[in-house]
Amino acid sequence: MNELQLELKNQLEKFCQQQIEPHMEHDDETETFRMEIFNQLGELGFTGMPLPEEYGGMGLSYEDFSIALCEIAKSSVAYAVTISVSSMVQAIINEFGDEDQKKKFLPALASGSEIGAFCLSESASGSDASALTTTAKKVEGGYVLNGSKIWITSGGIAKTYIVMARTGAPGPSGISAFIVRDGAAGFSFGKKEKKMGWRVSPTRELLFHNCFIPEENLLAKEGEGFKIAMAALEKGRFTIGAIAVGCAERALDESVRYALSRQQFKQAIFDFQGLQFMMADMATEIECSRLLVYQAARDYDNHTPNAKLACMAKLKATDTAMKVTTDAVQILGGVGYTREYPVERFMRDAKVLQIVEGTNQIQRVVIARNLKKEYSTH
């Protein structure tokens, strides 16, 4: 880690200890998202890290961003995910938006005064994203949206939504991307999901009923929406990996501390080799995941994006988070299963990391497709 990264990490560690950690048990129980925590993270610059400074961002690298997400996730996977998705929305607007769109929507997102949401999934199109059926019909001066979206992270608390909708023929080439603001007539929220984990981060259904979107809110051109979504997900995938590393690290930390202090059979349970091997494996898998995440991030920073590696980072890190958090509960035993210790929360939060931003089965599909392509061209 360079000096700046160490400073970011230390600053976040302090912030999380003082501002996030004290609320987590209560907020997880009551499903409370605190906008003031998000705002404060924004004041420190953490809600717009990779965005260029001219639009209010910090202009930092994806590697720096991954380190920050990992640190926040050690206290709260939910706030880390909120930042990750909101940053993905900023990246989309920055990469595919025109100057007016950038000036209009980016500063509030980067400063953390507003949250962004990414809206692709529908009830009948999850992994098969290009089968989506929400329509955007061209009318004078804009488009009219009809349909619904599900599983939308930050649904209800976000102000800016990137919505993928069909403007043309079936399949990926008929999809366009729109910027939709909270409060648009015909745009409302459906049910809030009751979830196993990520309970602090609201997940909602979005409903569009003859919702008019002005022409200037179309991103890029008609028919580019699927490529925009896929390109954004590539970055989103390794940032989810970074969050998974933080989640797993916290679980290991809790495990080692507990194992060193818990006495059974007149010795610390850490001294039993069966547990030592478990913790050694946990630590090794976490380091493998971290290296993959950092490498995938650096590839984006160096303008040599590698979709295969981004998927590998997401796959490895999130499977590791699930395994490590489950083992942490095992090491803590009975108390690990209770809410007295945070490991059961991290285990619940880890599960959906294997599902969001492309299930780990979809990551394998993309990895295998890339392998096939590489071998067919050699």
Q: Is 146 in the site for ligand COS (CB under 6 A)?
A: no
C-alpha span between 192 and 132 (Å, rounded): 21
User: HSE of 175 in the Cβ direction (CA atoms, 13 Å)?
Assistant: 22
Residue 96 beta carbon to ligand COS: minimum distance, rounded to whole angstroms:
11
Strands 187-192 and 116-119: unpaired
Nearer to ligand COS, 108 or 231 (CB): 231
Q: Which residue number, 165 or 366, has a Cβ lying nearer to ligand COS?
A: 366
Q: Does 307 bind ligand COS (CB under 6 A)?
A: yes
Residue closer to ligand COS (CB basis): 65 or 258: 65
- 114 carries an active-site annotation: no
H or E stretch covering 344 = helix 343-351
Interface map 227-246 toward ligand COS (x if CB under 6 A): x--xx-xx------------
Per CB under 6 A, the segment of 18-26, 242-250, 255-263, 358-366 that binds ligand COS is: 358-366
Of the candidate spans 125-133, 200-208, 270-278, 317-325, the one that interacts with ligand COS by CB under 6 A turns out to be: 125-133
- Say if residues 354 and 326 touch (Cβ distance below 8 Å): no
**Could you say which residues in the range 70-89 bind ligand COS, by CB under 6 A?**
none
Q: Which stretch binds ligand COS (CB under 6 A): 11-19, 222-230, 329-337, 341-349?
A: 222-230
Least distance from ligand COS to the Cβ atom of residue 356, Å: 4
CA distance readout (Å), 211 to 145, 180, 183, 186, 204: 5, 9, 10, 4, 18
Please list, in sequence order, all residues whose beta carbon lies within 8 angstroms of the beta carbon of residue 115, skipping any fewer than 6 positions away: 38, 82, 86, 109, 154, 157, 158, 159, 160
Spatial separation of the C-alpha atoms in residues 68 and 1, rounded to whole Å: 12
Number of residues that bind ligand COS (CB under 6 A): 20
Nearer to ligand COS, 9 or 227 (CB): 227
- Selecting among 3, 205, 357, 374, the annotated active-site residue is 357
Does residue 356 interact with ligand COS by CB under 6 A?
yes
358 binds ligand COS (CB under 6 A): yes
For 137, the enclosing helix (H) or strand (E) is strand 135-139
Say if residues 151 and 168 touch (Cβ distance below 8 Å).
Answer: no
Direct distance between the N- and C-terminal alpha carbons of the chain, in angstroms, rounded to an integer: 37
Catalytic residues: 357
Interface residues with ligand COS (CB under 6 A) are 118, 120-121, 127, 129-130, 172, 226-227, 230-231, 233-234, 307, 356-358, 362, 365-366
